[in-house]
A and B are shown apart, each in its own frame.
Chain A
Amino acid sequence: MQKKDIGLAVLVLTVAAVVAALNPRFLSPINLANTANLIGLFGLFSIAEAFVIVTAGIELSVGSVIALLGVLFVDMIVNQGVPWPIATVLVMVLGAVIGLLHGLLVTKMKLQPFVVTLCGLLIYRGIARFYTADGTAGFSFGDSFPWLEWVISGRTSGVPHSIVAFGVVAVASWFLLHRTVFGRHLFAVGKNEEAARFAGINTTRVIILAYVICSVLTGLSAVFFAMYTRSIHPASHGSFYELYAIAAAVLGGFSLRGGEGSIVGVVLGVILLQVLQNLVNLLGIPSSLNFAVMGGVILIGVIADTQFARYRTAKRQAAALASLNAGRAEPSGG
């Protein structure tokens, strides 16, 4: 665990302790289960976003993809009679296609990720609304998919399955990003694409794969959200989720310049954001201030982080100077 992650974990625990002290309902099983459910739901696409951010890219179409794929998923199982496991796989394959498209546009056409995914944000939202004729995609009264409901939105001894899925994805992602060769290549490409190319890394492939992983996970997340809301208004479903994901990743130590961050960090970031939402609800703060509280905490976190980094650099410089003054002509040998 990196030092940054420990700092964030302390912050999460502190906020949780304060909320718990002020309102004991925070620790009630029902509140914990609900918060866990939300952590699972929002966590899936936040991890997705992290894979793109680590390459120094950005994925702005997350919310729109959740809306579009959610609409398609509901339509497939309710109206087209597609069995739900197949529909789930199809949605993730569609996600892969979207990610592949974004990756190709970014690498082969050399377009800026911000522009590509901003266009995606607009396009997928528009298609989703057109597909439903600006109506609602949902389940009719009496529609029943007991297995699907149990798998996706069910609970086992009180633990929501969404957070189980999140946990599985987080552990797999941790290994992928921090322990595999591909993960090392992701960091290298994000930090210095030119040097990565000089090291023989196929940077194009690495970047495309990052977008594919992101969109596949977003597809999985779309299924969870479809079953959570049960009816999808494509005009608003998933709105701003990409910004939520970016916030969680930044809180978790990911740099938008790429090449930095940890899965532990983004998991803690997701937890912190949900605990803050819970804080707003439980402490009777007007819910209109919700975003302001989130924004304020992120800003404070980022400022603290940069100040700490500056402090460390200054300390290193002072040490180098001290060793010079101690009489060594060439402290590093050169």
Chain B
Amino acid sequence: MTKPPIALSLTDVTKVYPGVVALERVNLSLTGGEIVGLIGENGAGKSTLMKVLGGTIAPNAGTITVDGHDHAALTPREANDLGIAFVHQELNTFGNLDVAGNILLGREIVSAPFGTLDQAAMVRTVRPILDVLGAKFAPEDSAADLSLADQQILEVAKALSMKARLVIFDEPTSSLTVSETARLLGVMRQLRDDGVAVLFISHRLAEIEEVADRVVVLRDGKNAGDLPRADISKPRMVELMIGRNIGRDASRIAPSGTAPVLEFCAVSTTAYPSSKVDLTLYGGEILGLAGLVGAGRSELARVAFGIDPRNGGEVRVSGITLAPDSVASAIAAGLCLVPENRKEEGLILDFAVRENISLPNLGRLRRGWFVDRPAERDLGTASRDRLGIKTATLDGAVASLSGGNQQKVVLAKWLAMSPKVIIMDEPTRGIDVGAKREVYALMRALADTGVGILMISSDMEEVIGISDRVAVMSAGRVAGILDHDVISEPNILRLAVG
């Protein structure tokens, strides 16, 4: 690298959105020639921090110091000029261009006198960079034909062509195979040895353990701790990310003798048309539904609720067979779904808190054609008090609430209709620890009143800590069901990987 190594530090960087503190006095330093792992749970502030470095978000407070110069905020242009480059999880490859065209996008080499593209010169420029990276593709190849790993290496090549001094990898391995991952980790090491600073963001702690020289942990928008090379270990990282140990109450007796409230009989989804799911949820229990991402859990929930068409089989709620493809029939039978994507599916963000809560309940909260506004307001007030929703006013847009309070609003709209079964898809994703505990307590309280809860979760601690039983899905089918006394991480994983 021709430029001197980067020396970058963030001091007390804070970013506040209405109702949410995304980053609070976060510190981070990066120097050339090291690989820093950045970890944290969803919503810990990793992506916001990345956007601050990339110049797409301006922090409200704090300093960004690069090579001894202080900045209150960077612009994307400045970040670029300072040599900060990204390899994103979602790739920005242009399939309609060749590799050279992708790498030099926006910095194309042109020839006189008409400013036409100088293809030969572009290929000449790109080839040595690809050689350095050991890429198995040529500058002339069409980018559309590259594998995901090669597309990622293409992004790295793009960064190098811009003389990057800091390359930020955002979950680059999430869709790569084992050998592809090994290649990409090799590229990171090579960058480090060339004096480039590498910031590696990943949920895959084994990879972090393998490659990182130092680990920075974020939790709830704050620094949760730094680990030098010698201290990097999976348990230590997990401990810092979670900040607590979820114990499980092994003495809890799973309720028995209650009636089934939700039955799947040979249900198949369009995602896994040949897999049939049989599963029974009893009143008063929390049944955890574990499995790897893509095992077909959310698809099953969407089919049960009537959002997606059912491929086959039958869903019964308290003995009532649900019409396929009808959310209204599911709701009428007493089934409700707290969806995975709160902001897209669970809430109408610009609607008031009160309006969000009343939306599925308007069938009752009406006088003839009209919305019964006093009743609507009463429901809002009652829900706020019951669930402890922290909001200045019921008339404010739900968008201004924090993630945890938003999730409580989603719960409130369903609790108002006294459901028999609640399917919760990732119920605590992106909400902070305190709110998580409140949601867990609420789930348990509901179960104790006889409601059946099917909890889809990828958070192992949550599955183990909360569930009465755990069903594990793999490739669209139920691979096994663990009773209360045999719930453990190894048992779940063994079933999940098929």
A: residues with CB less than 8 A from B are 175-176, 179-185, 187-188, 191-192, 194-202, 259-260, 313, 316-317, 319-321, 324-325, 329-334
Q: Which residues of B contact A332 (CB under 8 A)?
A: 19-20, 390, 401-402, 405
> A316 near B327 (CB under 8 angstroms)?
no
A323 CB to nearest chain B CB (Å): 9
* B417 to A, closest residue via Cβ: A200
Q: Which residues of A contact B366 (CB under 8 A)?
A: 181
Q: A195-B346, A333-B390 known; 8 other A-B pairs, CB under 8 Å?
A: A176-B369, A181-B366, A188-B348, A191-B351, A195-B347, A198-B307, A200-B328, A332-B402
Q: CB of B210 within 8 A of chain A?
A: no
Q: Which residues of B contact A201 (CB under 8 A)?
A: 327, 359-360
Q: CB of B435 within 8 A of chain A?
A: yes
Q: Which residues of A contact B490 (CB under 8 A)?
A: none
* B404 to A, closest residue via Cβ: A334
Q: CB of B432 within 8 A of chain A?
A: yes
Q: Can you list 6 A-B contacts (CB < 8 A)?
A: A198-B327, A201-B360, A259-B350, A320-B19, A332-B401, A333-B402
Contacting residue for B328 out of A202, A316, A331, CB 8 A: A202
Given contacts A321-B60, A332-B390, contact A200 B327 (CB under 8 A): yes
> A180 near B371 (CB under 8 angstroms)?
yes
Contacting residue for A184 out of B346, B349, B359, CB 8 A: B359
Given contacts A184-B362, A191-B350, A199-B413, contact A320 B18 (CB under 8 A): yes
* A189 to B, closest residue via Cβ: B348
* A318 to B, closest residue via Cβ: B60
> B331 near A200 (CB under 8 angstroms)?
yes
**Interface size of B as a range:** 35 or more
A304 CB to nearest chain B CB (Å): 20
Contacting residue for B17 out of A192, A195, A198, A317, CB 8 A: A317
Q: Which residues of B contact A192 (CB under 8 A)?
A: 344, 347-349
> A182 near B337 (CB under 8 angstroms)?
no
How long is the Cα–Cα vector from A259 to B349 in the complex, in angstroms? 11
Q: Which residues of B contact A198 (CB under 8 A)?
A: 305, 307, 327, 337, 339, 345-346
Contacting residue for A182 out of B18, B220, B305, B369, CB 8 A: B369
Q: CB of B246 within 8 A of chain A?
A: no
> A200 near B345 (CB under 8 angstroms)?
no
> B371 near A194 (CB under 8 angstroms)?
no
Q: CB of B431 within 8 A of chain A?
A: yes
> B348 near A195 (CB under 8 angstroms)?
yes
A325 CB to nearest chain B CB (Å): 8
Q: CB of B370 within 8 A of chain A?
A: yes
> A317 near B307 (CB under 8 angstroms)?
no
Interface of A is mostly: helix
A4 CB to nearest chain B CB (Å): 14
> B360 near A199 (CB under 8 angstroms)?
yes
Q: How many Cβ-Cβ contacts under 8 Å join chain A to chain B?
A: 118
A276 CB to nearest chain B CB (Å): 30
**B 347-395 contacts with A by CB, 8 A:** 347-351, 355, 358-360, 362-363, 366, 369-371, 373, 390
Q: CB of B403 within 8 A of chain A?
A: yes
B236 CB to nearest chain A CB (Å): 25
* B336 to A, closest residue via Cβ: A200
> B347 near A181 (CB under 8 angstroms)?
no
> A195 near B328 (CB under 8 angstroms)?
no
A168 CB to nearest chain B CB (Å): 17
> B405 near A334 (CB under 8 angstroms)?
yes
Q: Which residues of A contact B20 (CB under 8 A)?
A: 332, 334
> A321 near B405 (CB under 8 angstroms)?
no
> A324 near B21 (CB under 8 angstroms)?
yes
A315 CB to nearest chain B CB (Å): 10
How long is the Cα–Cα vector from A194 to B61 in the complex, in angstroms? 36
Given contacts A192-B348, A202-B328, A332-B402, contact A316 B18 (CB under 8 A): yes
Find the residue from B60, B362, B402, B434 having the highest chain A CB count within 10 A.
Answer: B362
> A321 near B61 (CB under 8 angstroms)?
yes
Given contacts A191-B351, A200-B328, contact A321 B370 (CB under 8 A): no
How long is the Cα–Cα vector from A325 to B25 in the complex, in angstroms? 11
> A330 near B413 (CB under 8 angstroms)?
no
Q: Which residues of A contact B331 (CB under 8 A)?
A: 200
How long is the Cα–Cα vector from A259 to B351 in the complex, in angstroms? 9
Q: CB of B181 within 8 A of chain A?
A: no
> B18 near A317 (CB under 8 angstroms)?
yes
**B 1-60 contacts with A by CB, 8 A:** 14, 16-21, 24, 60
How long is the Cα–Cα vector from A181 to B373 in the complex, in angstroms? 10
Q: CB of B280 within 8 A of chain A?
A: no
> A331 near B345 (CB under 8 angstroms)?
no
The 6 A-B residue pairs whose C-beta atoms are closest, nearest first, are: A333-B390, A199-B360, A334-B432, A332-B402, A334-B402, A200-B331
Given contacts A179-B371, A192-B349, contact A197 B307 (CB under 8 A): yes
Q: Which residues of B contact A200 (CB under 8 A)?
A: 327-328, 330-331, 360
A194 CB to nearest chain B CB (Å): 5
How long is the Cα–Cα vector from A166 to B111 in the complex, in angstroms? 65
> A334 near B351 (CB under 8 angstroms)?
no
> B355 near A184 (CB under 8 angstroms)?
yes
* B332 to A, closest residue via Cβ: A200
Q: Which residues of B contact A202 (CB under 8 A)?
A: 328
* B60 to A, closest residue via Cβ: A321
* B390 to A, closest residue via Cβ: A333
Find the residue from A184, A199, A316 having the highest chain B CB count within 10 A.
Answer: A199
A321 CB to nearest chain B CB (Å): 5
Contacting residue for B434 out of A195, A196, A317, A334, CB 8 A: A334
How long is the Cα–Cα vector from A185 to B17 in the complex, in angstroms? 29
How long is the Cα–Cα vector from A330 to B402 in the complex, in angstroms? 10
Q: CB of B65 within 8 A of chain A?
A: no
Q: Which residues of A contact B60 (CB under 8 A)?
A: 317, 321
B350 CB to nearest chain A CB (Å): 6
Q: CB of B400 within 8 A of chain A?
A: yes
> A180 near B370 (CB under 8 angstroms)?
yes
> B432 near A321 (CB under 8 angstroms)?
no
Q: Which residues of A contact B355 (CB under 8 A)?
A: 184
How long is the Cα–Cα vector from A260 to B434 in the complex, in angstroms? 35
* B361 to A, closest residue via Cβ: A199
How long is the Cα–Cα vector from A199 to B369 in the complex, in angstroms? 19
B335 CB to nearest chain A CB (Å): 10
